Amino acid sequence: MPLPRGPRPKLPPSPVNPLRQLVQEGREQVARARGDIRSLADGIRGATAEMPAETKTPPGSPSAGTACLSCTRDHYSTTSAALSEGLRFARSEGIKHPEVTRRLGIALDELNILERIDMAPDQIGMLSEPERKLAIWALNKSRDLRHTIGEIKTVDDMEKAAAQASRLREEFMTKYGEVRQSYQEECETCPALEDLKSYLERRKRGEV
């Protein structure tokens, strides 16, 4: 049977073309994402390369081991406060009052931690010479105060212990402040800071 003459009907558009376009757009987006990720990674590597290497402070240097001395300061402060509070209760309620006993225990705990942990031989061995002298002085004073507290039997005994703790705290604070000041002066020209200053100056000049 012959086909009818005249214009042929238009065929519907192929559904493959839109899919092909979507695939192409997806490839372009993936390529852009890869470029962004590569650029970000390069930036991170560059920033890391510019950072100066971490400088570790060797044992015995001015800033090494100062933590145990700052803890000693806190132990003395807590001990003095506990004895002062205990003395207040002892004067009004008697030396055997539970609050007196509790605060005596706090004071002893603080000194025991100071002597057995913060001032342990391995900790003192990490200190510089000025720190080591102060640490040994503080350790001996702590033992004296601990023995005084252990001998408390009367309100008068507790008054003496509280006064001794207060004097010790103030004296240690003075000595500790002097040691820290001397370290600040030494560290202004210590090698680690000089290296950092040199690096920052060279970076400003665009040399690194």
| Digit-coded pLDDT (tens) for 35-57 | 665 655 555 555 445 544 444 44
**Stretch 181-186: mean pLDDT:** 52
- Per-residue confidence (pLDDT) for residue 126, from 0 to 100: 86
Most confidently modeled of 21-25, 31-35, 60-64, 102-106? 102-106
Q: Is residue 129 part of a domain?
A: yes
**Stretch 4-31: mean pLDDT:** 59
Question: Has residue 188 got a pLDDT over 50?
Answer: no
Burial-class residue 21 by CB neighbours within 10 Å (0-12, 13-18, 19+): exposed
Q: Is residue 24 part of a domain?
A: no
The domain of 160 spans 66-193
**Stretch 155-176: mean pLDDT:** 96
Here the CATH number for the domain that contains residue 101 is 1.20.120
Between residues 7 and 118, the one the model is more confident about:
118
Calculate the average pLDDT of the chain. 75
pLDDT confidence band for 118 (50 / 70 / 90): confident
Total domains in the chain come to: 1
- Per-residue confidence (pLDDT) for residue 56, from 0 to 100: 42
Q: Is residue 166 part of a domain?
A: yes
Percent of the residues in the chain that have a pLDDT greater than 90, as a whole number: 43
Percent of the residues in the chain that have a pLDDT greater than 70, as a whole number: 54
**Stretch 20-28: mean pLDDT:** 62
**Stretch 173-191: mean pLDDT:** 65
Q: Is residue 151 part of a domain?
A: yes
